């Protein structure tokens, strides 16, 4: 019975193969569980606050968003990137909602929206103003502003304000941010931000 012809390594090879297969399966499971969390963390690092301004998507009026940070610097269409603040697009109403295709036909996306993202925290007061840069009709234009704190998520403010005339400027909100990101002292004390540029 000790003859080499009666000995087999097939069972041992099967055992090694099953162990290797088990490790590969565990690795795939671990990878799938880790990857979505990494994406979530990656997103959360990109913004601390998001300020969204919207008005009637069918209207040609041009309304601008101005945000001043605690250093006194202002982000707007004139300076779309200032410190940690980024304006994603200067929406001109109807003007930049249309694209002429290669065949001459028009593609239109009805959206009137400006968004400022604050990607880092500077402790102190932030001021958010809206300004009616260009107006066509006589009817007042309702403008909705929402300020979202991202980490952790909360709505700092959501409000609709009417702008009636070209040149109207309204302070929608002033709020202070602590170094840990906490929001305090939300108020609407008016402060002009636009005239600073127009007089320069």
Instruction: Report the C-alpha gap between 30 and 27 in whole angstroms.
Output: 5
Model pLDDT, residue 197:
47
Which residues touch 58 (CB under 8 Å, ≥6 apart)?
110
Q: What is the DSSP string of 155-170?
A: EEEEEEEEE-STT-EE
**Cβ atoms within 10 Å of 124's Cβ, excluding its own:** 13
Q: Which pTM was predicted?
A: 0.70
| Half-sphere exposure at residue 62, Cβ-oriented, CA atoms within 13 angstroms | 11
The answer to whether the beta carbons of residues 150 and 48 sit under 8 Å apart is yes
Instruction: Report the C-alpha gap between 72 and 103 in whole angstroms.
Output: 47
Q: What is the mean pLDDT of residues 44-59?
A: 84
Reported confidence tier of residue 86, pLDDT bands at 50, 70, 90: very high
**Cβ atoms within 10 Å of 16's Cβ, excluding its own:** 11
pLDDT at 110 over 90: no
Chain segment 113-123, per-residue pLDDT in tens: 999 999 999 99
Which residues touch 107 (CB under 8 Å, ≥6 apart)?
98, 99, 101
Mean pLDDT (the chain, rounded): 83
Reported confidence tier of residue 136, pLDDT bands at 50, 70, 90: confident
pLDDT at 91 over 90: no
CA neighbor of 63 nearest in space, from 98, 87, 92: 92
**SS3 sequence, 79-136?**
CCEECCEEECCCCCCCHHHEEECCCCCEEECCCCEEEEEECCCCCEEEEEEEEEEECC
Model pLDDT, residue 58:
80
Instruction: Report the C-alpha gap between 144 and 52 in whole angstroms.
Output: 8
Chain segment 157-193, per-residue pLDDT in tens: 999 999 999 999 999 999 999 999 999 999 999 999 9
């Amino acid at each position: 019975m000790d003859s080499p012809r009666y000995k087999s390594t097939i069972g041992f090879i099967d055992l090694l193969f099953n162990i290797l297969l088990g490790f590969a399966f565990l690795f795939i499971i671990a990878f799938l569980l880790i990857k979505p969390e990494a994406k979530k963390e990656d997103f959360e690092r990109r913004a601390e606050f998001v300020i969204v301004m919207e008005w009637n998507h069918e209207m040609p009026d041009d309304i601008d968003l101005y945000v001043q940070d605690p250093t006194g610097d202002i982000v707007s269409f004139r300076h779309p990137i200032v410190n940690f603040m980024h304006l994603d697009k200067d929406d001109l109403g109807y003007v930049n909602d249309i694209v002429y295709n290669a065949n001459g036909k028009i593609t239109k996306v009805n959206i009137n929206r400006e968004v400022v993202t604050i990607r880092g925290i500077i402790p102190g007061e932030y001021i958010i103003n809206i300004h009616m840069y260009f107006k066509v009709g006589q009817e007042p234009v309702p403008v909705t502003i929402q300020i979202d704190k991202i980490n952790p998520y909360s709505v700092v403010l959501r409000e609709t304000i009417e702008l009636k005339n070209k040149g109207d400027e309204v302070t929608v909100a002033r709020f202070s941010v602590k170094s840990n990101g906490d929001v305090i002292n939300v108020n609407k004390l008016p402060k002009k931000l636009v005239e600073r540029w127009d007089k320069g």
